[in-house]
Chain A
Amino acid sequence: MIVARDLTKIYGGKPAVDGITFTVRPGRVTGFLGPNGAGKSTTMRMVLGLDRPTAGSVTVNGRRYSDYAAPLREVGALLEARALHPGRSARDHLRWLAASNGIPRPRVEEVLGLVGLDAVADKRVGKFSLGMGQRLGIAVALLGDPPVVVLDEPVNGLDPEGIRWVRTLARELAGQGRTVFVSSHLMSEMALTADHLVVVGRGKILADCSMSEFIADHAASYVRVASPQRGEVADLLRRQGLDVAVHDEELRVQGLDAAAVGELVGRSGLLLHELTLVQSSLEDAFMTLTADSVEYHATPTAGIPA
């Protein structure tokens, strides 16, 4: 379990993480979601004792990370930037990490096999592809067989097969009762992996809820209705107790699916030109939620004045 209380980090007068409080519980995958620059990596670095909080605290299973004598056996972490020396082999990288935390040597071979790098274990990691580097990072995270696993942007640079592998692994680890904390800037990825979501933007928490709550609250769906007899259709549906909004030429109906709306209108003999179920995606929900907190917006391309 990871507990952050009023965690704050100020860089040069600007808060990167602004008094956030959250709990990452064992037995499920908690997604840490936010646009780039939202403070995810800074938070993760504070969890691992690499950065010192300006205020507040964060503990892992009740203790500060830096208080553990063998932290790799408590918390396994995949760091965002490849924290590797390009001239060292994967095996040697794992060997020194194992030595530093008193982890038995055979475990190195075990995790190499687990992530499928045994064939290239003696190759220098500078020659690794991005995906192989991520796999090695995950091997590092699993080296100490830790009850808490922290993965910062684990699917970056992975091919589709690798992405699925990470997703399955995260779910498996949570299934074994471990605490799994995964950061990402991709809502679509989180939707498939996480049970619980902590959404951040500009260093503040925007949402902290289960995935299903998040979907229910943020991913609205409605039936789009177009009809030459717009007014009559709207009255009819309203009489049925449905929520009808008028947007330009169309009606947006909530509370019934497309088929049911179609039957209702059909029975009354009114004309329909369009009937579509519109489901705003989680990606849209996430974008809407974080729209105000995105650090660097791309401006929609304007026409070049002649």
Chain B
Amino acid sequence: MTVTEFSDTVVLDPKANVPGVRRPGFGAALRAEWIKFWSVRSTFWSTAMLFVLGAGLTVLVCATSAAWLASSEADESPLSFVTWGLMFAQITAIVLGTLVVTSEYGTGMIRATLAATPRRGSVLAAKAIVLTGTLFVVGTVTAFAGFFGGNFFLDREGIGIALGDEGVLRAMLGSGLYMAGLGLFAAAAGFLIRHTAAALSVVLALVFVVGNMAFLLPGTWGEWTAKLMPGNAGSGVATPVSFNPGLLDPWVGFAVFAGEVALLTVIAWATFRRRDA
């Protein structure tokens, strides 16, 4: 036998382990997720749709409702209308959050991801930061764009709103926060369910269908169940005045929502770190 058959150490191309090459830490995982995130088309389309729906529909509804809102027949506050489009933009945040995770399972990519970054907590955290950071920025920008665009029409009818009016600035930032939270909620569901269609259906049904149907439940417990549903608890912060008078206070509701998102994320992490890829 030759000597190499017994030796455990091998002399190799020195480039492989140059002293001084930085040991990659969490920053490396974060950069990797950032590159992954922006190098597929679904990210661009989801965020673009978020903006188009969120800002576009807000402007549209303000333009068409401004006259009615200014009239004496109006029984809603114009403040409810300046973030109107975000109700629909939520869907794109959920889609993006789900896809960030389930597309990896659908394609087998998750194995490459975990071979590159075996620390699963880092993978989940890096994905969460990239996703929520992006959704917060896009959600906030969308809310501002919708507000300024919509307010242009409200202003012409003499019912213009100022950024300094109560709840307006909070709703702008709240829109970003709510989108980020929804995205993370969907991503956590993605880690648990691992199939795009199934995860998407479950989250959309929970936020839109079950959330709205819960208001039909009888009694005090029914009322509270409805208030505590993720979509109902979290959406209050994203609008200056909600159409729905039955919601929790904006920040109280958001705290409940954030707690639910955090809980689901922790469950997802506990499952993800144990499961075979």
B213 sits at the interface (CB 8 A): no
A246 sits at the interface (CB 8 A): no
Which residues of B46-63 have CB atoms within 8 Å of chain A's CB atoms? Answer: none
Verify A51–B277 contact, CB threshold 8 A: yes
- Report, as a range, how many residues of chain A touch the other chain: 35 or more
Contact of A147 among B12, B21, B41, B116 (CB under 8 A): B12
**Complex: chain B residue closest to A81, CB-CB:** B108
Q: Which 6 A-B pairs have the closest CB atoms?
A: A27-B4, A100-B32, A102-B24, A66-B118, A92-B39, A83-B112
Given contacts A88-B40, A95-B35, A147-B10, contact A50 B114 (CB under 8 A): yes
B7 sits at the interface (CB 8 A): yes
A62 sits at the interface (CB 8 A): yes
Q: Which residues of B contact A102 (CB under 8 A)?
A: 21-24, 28
Q: Which residues of B contact A50 (CB under 8 A)?
A: 111, 114-115, 276-277
Verify A177–B118 contact, CB threshold 8 A: no
Contacts A26-B10, A84-B109, A88-B40 given; 17 further ones with Cβ under 8 A?
Answer: A25-B5, A26-B7, A48-B111, A49-B118, A50-B276, A61-B8, A68-B118, A73-B16, A85-B103, A88-B36, A92-B35, A92-B39, A93-B39, A101-B28, A102-B24, A146-B16, A178-B10
A69 sits at the interface (CB 8 A): yes
Complex Cα spacing A254 to B244, Å: 93
Complex Cα spacing A82 to B109, Å: 8
Q: What is the minimal beta-carbon distance from A34 to any residue of chain B, in angstroms?
A: 20
Verify A100–B117 contact, CB threshold 8 A: yes
Given contacts A50-B114, A176-B12, contact A89 B39 (CB under 8 A): yes
Q: Which residues of A contact B12 (CB under 8 A)?
A: 145, 147, 176-178
Contact of A145 among B4, B16, B107, B114 (CB under 8 A): B16
B119 sits at the interface (CB 8 A): yes
**Complex: chain B residue closest to A26, CB-CB:** B10
CB-defined A-B contacts under 8 Å, sample of 17: A1-B8, A26-B7, A26-B8, A28-B5, A50-B115, A52-B276, A69-B23, A70-B24, A77-B115, A84-B108, A87-B41, A87-B42, A100-B24, A100-B29, A101-B28, A102-B21, A176-B12
State how many residues of chain B have any CB contact under 8 Å with chain A. Answer: 45
A37 sits at the interface (CB 8 A): no
Kindly supply a per-residue 1/0 record for chain B positions 3-40, scoring 1 wherever the CB is within 8 Å of any chain A CB and 0 otherwise: 01101101111011100011111001101110110011
Verify A26–B115 contact, CB threshold 8 A: no
A residues adjacent to B (C-beta < 8 A): 1, 25-28, 45, 48-52, 61-62, 65-73, 77, 79, 81-89, 92-93, 95-97, 99-102, 140, 144-147, 176-179
Q: What is the minimal beta-carbon distance from B108 to any residue of chain A, in angstroms?
A: 4
B72 sits at the interface (CB 8 A): no
Complex Cα spacing A48 to B117, Å: 11
Q: Which residues of B contact A65 (CB under 8 A)?
A: 118
Q: What is the minimal beta-carbon distance from A53 to any residue of chain B, in angstroms?
A: 10
Q: Which residues of B contact A101 (CB under 8 A)?
A: 24, 28, 116
Complex Cα spacing A177 to B8, Å: 11
Given contacts A72-B116, A100-B28, contact A83 B39 (CB under 8 A): no
Which residues of B95-151 have CB atoms within 8 Å of chain A's CB atoms? Answer: 103-104, 107-112, 114-119
Contact of B115 among A71, A82, A176 (CB under 8 A): A71
Complex Cα spacing A28 to B118, Å: 27
Verify B23–A70 contact, CB threshold 8 A: yes
Q: Which residues of B contact A25 (CB under 8 A)?
A: 4-5
B220 sits at the interface (CB 8 A): no
Q: Which residues of B contact A79 (CB under 8 A)?
A: 108, 111-112, 115
Contact of B10 among A77, A82, A179 (CB under 8 A): A179
Contact of B108 among A66, A82, A144 (CB under 8 A): A82
Given contacts A26-B4, A145-B13, contact A97 B24 (CB under 8 A): no
Which residues of B158-176 have CB atoms within 8 Å of chain A's CB atoms? Answer: none
